[in-house]
Chain A
Amino acid sequence: MGDMKIRPEDVPVVGRDVSEAEVLANLSSAGGERDLRITDSTLRDGSHAMSHQFTEEQVRGVVSALDRAGVQVIEVSHGDGLGGSSFNYGFSRVDELDLIAAAVDEATHAKIAILMLPGLATVKHLKRAQAVGASVARIATHCTEADVSVQHFGEARDLGMETVGFLMLAHRASPQVLAENARIMVDAGAQCVYVVDSAGALVLSDAQERILAVIDEVGRDGAQVGFHGHQNLSMGIANSVLAYQAGAKQIDGALCALGAGAGNSPTEVLAATFARLGIRTGIDLGEVLSAAEEVVRPFIPRLPWMDRSSITQGYAGVYSSFLLHAERAGERYGVPAHEILQRVGEYGYVGGQEDMIIDIALQLAEERSLGDVAAAGVR
């Protein structure tokens, strides 16, 4: 073992070096057949793992490599979506609109997507992103709050954008409630609704039954269903396969798993796994592997990994992007990050409530000092 070369005879779909022309001919834009569409979120979810410090050069490199590999949708935004650059979530090094424009400039076939969270970003942000060339609007809400996105789906459709709804922290809602919220998004104009496992907390059948319920609700309207996984419990790929088998047509990944928490389902592993299963993604495996290995890996400061904190996130159902914030607060106030995350899970905080991490760190610090006082025998 140890030789990680792909054995051509093992790869049913893309097992040999293919020419660029062949890849292009296989794109759906060129009429090629696909069974599902992979959206790469390295430049959006990966922004969390990069503390929002992406440079234009990195963005151009990643987009160019993904585009060459035949990835059809590439998401570019601050990790928390448009307008996320802030005290609460971390300031971007480069204005996301410049990064989106660079991505649009670099892509030859891939569509550039943006993410937005109503309550943080507004229609104004969406219009600015569309003006610099973003053509897919991914609009995210907590899984039970879809009705805050109604105006945004309407506007995105009016702008001529493709629309995708994102029901975040999907483990927090029953399949039925998730389906009801998917219904609200589709009625508002979503063409696809994702079950988003923001905490990496869905384990196999948990993911599949949610996908089935959502398809059951919105499939008859022609809306697609997607799955966005995290690796906190190492389930990203397996859940994605189950999602596909349940009927999902769009799956998210990120190169080298670059994403919040323990990272996302790695795009290159999705490509290889689906290829093994004979499921056509339109992605050139050799190209996507080199995109991960040669383009992304070199600039990652710390590979996302399943460690005590990120596993705690999956176990306790905590929004993955809280990880680095908890580590920083833990350091600042002298308390362990995984204890902060555990308590975030107990309190049920949702995506966007990063400010509560400081609060919890202060509480834990206070409890510790009281504990020290008690231990010293002071009454």
Chain B
Amino acid sequence: MTGQNARKASAAIVGPGNIGTDLMFKLMRRSDIVEPRFMVGVDPTSDGLARAKRLGLETTADGVDWLLAQDELPDIVFEATSAKAHEANAPRYAEAGILAIDLTPAAVGPYLCPPVNLSFNLDATNVNMITCGGQATVPMVHAVSSVVPVTYAEIVASVSSRSAGPGTRANIDEFTETTASAVEAVGGAEHGKAIIILNPVEPPLMMRNTVFCAIPPDAAEPGELKDRLLESIYAMERTVQEYVPGYHLRTDPQFDPARETWRGQARVFIPIEVKGRGDYLPDYAGNLDIITAAAARVGDLMVAHRFGVETTWKSSADLGDLADSLTGVRAKAGI
């Protein structure tokens, strides 16, 4: 028993792929109260399972059935499988009283985007992390819609092919639908649209996201309204950087004046680049980083809320940009 917290929450990660593995590293590194204990897969030859085992987690290739048959169940489960799998598993976690953080686009629980709506959902038993594209773009849609009405918002997420695993590929419809729906429900746009592009170029491209918002014509003209809009966008950039240091605007937002073909609305274009933290995949995989960082942070905060203790989350600033406390751990895991 170390530190001021009497108790640690044990966590299971279901789905030992790119996302599950990256999440494991994030939790080890950034949270003192959420401790990865189980890594659950279905393929005995999975690299992710082998890696988790080397790091001392209890691993299985027998799926969620094995996990739920354990004498000691986890307090919290992070699901990084597929939308279909989570739809099937969610009621079982609920029945077992396990808090579920869903990293698939299943959207069983409410959408959660930490800088926008975490505080409203601290008591939920199942929360959905939207998608990587959603975590990167919904904050910016919100930043715009909190200043001016947004009748329509569109996001384009470009990710490197290497960082899109089989789950993302099999779930591409759910990705676009879930993201579009979160652009509306959490971002605050009246209508949302989402597009994902996989690019195989080598060396891999950094994750890029573009947010387009239809805004009232006067918001695109120089003046107080436009200034407030810009201020809100830059403030959101800083907020997201607290947990994803590589999140930044690639250039200043671009404003285009109203057009008839845009139903008389003007447009703001916000280009975002997400450089990954490199916890598991190299830094081009910002798409993994942003959703696992959000999920790990949400897990830490929700556990702290449940246990009535302070969050132990270590922000990027706390850790220092160059600090890499996992170097030894990663070497042990063979990365």
Contact = CB atoms under 8 A, between A and B. Distances in A.
Interface of A: 83, 86-88, 91, 93, 118-120, 122-124, 142, 144-145, 147-148, 150-152, 172, 332, 347-353, 355-356, 358-359, 362
Interface stretch (B196-204, B286-294, B314-322): B196-204
Contact of B161 (A87, A91, A120, A145): A145
A161 to B, nearest CB: 17
B177 interface: yes
Contact of B251 (A122, A144, A362): A362
A122 B154 contact: no
Contact of B212 (A87, A119, A351): A87
A358 B254 contact: yes
Nearest to B176: A122
Given A350-B199, A353-B199, A355-B156, 16 more contacts: A87-B212, A88-B195, A119-B175, A124-B173, A142-B200, A144-B200, A148-B169, A148-B172, A151-B172, A332-B256, A348-B205, A350-B198, A352-B156, A353-B156, A356-B158, A356-B208
B173 A123 contact: yes
Nearest to B157: A119
B261 A353 contact: no
B198 A353 contact: no
Interface string B164-205: 001001101101110000000000000001011111110001
5 contacts: A88-B154, A123-B173, A350-B199, A352-B156, A359-B271
Contact of B261 (A91, A350, A355, A358): A91
Nearest to B273: A359
A350 B164 CA distance: 16
Given A119-B172, A142-B198, A145-B200, A91 B262 contact: yes
Given A91-B261, A355-B156, A358-B271, A86 B197 contact: no
Given A87-B267, A147-B169, A358-B254, A119 B198 contact: yes
Contacts of B158: 352-353, 355-356
Contacts of A86: 154, 193, 195
Nearest to B254: A358
Contacts of A83: 193
A172 B198 CA distance: 14
A119 B210 contact: no
B332 interface: no
Interface in B222-241: none
Nearest to A146: B169
B250 interface: yes
Given A88-B210, A88-B212, A118-B173, A147 B201 contact: no
B269 interface: yes
Contacts of A152: 173
A53 B267 CA distance: 20
Nearest 3 Cβ contacts at the A-B interface: A348-B201, A355-B210, A87-B212
Contacts of B205: 347-348
A176 to B, nearest CB: 15
B170 A150 contact: yes
B196 to A, nearest CB: 4
Nearest to B213: A87
Contact of B166 (A120, A142, A147, A352): A147
Contacts of A148: 169, 172, 198
Contact of B177 (A122, A144, A145, A356): A122
Contact of A87 (B154, B199, B201): B154
B44 to A, nearest CB: 23
Contacts of A349: 199, 201
Contacts of B166: 147
Contacts of B195: 86, 88, 119-120, 352
B197 A353 contact: yes
A151 B156 CA distance: 21
A350 B202 CA distance: 12
Interface string B4-47: 00000000000000000000000000000000000000000000
A155 B198 CA distance: 22
Nearest to A122: B173
B197 A350 contact: yes
Interface in B271-289: 271
A351 to B, nearest CB: 8
B169 to A, nearest CB: 5
Contacts of A124: 173, 177
A134 to B, nearest CB: 18
B104 to A, nearest CB: 15
A88 B156 contact: yes
A352 B251 contact: no
A352 B194 CA distance: 12
A147 B271 CA distance: 28
B262 to A, nearest CB: 7
A124 B172 CA distance: 13
- Greatest chain A CB density within 10 A among B177, B195, B208 is at B195
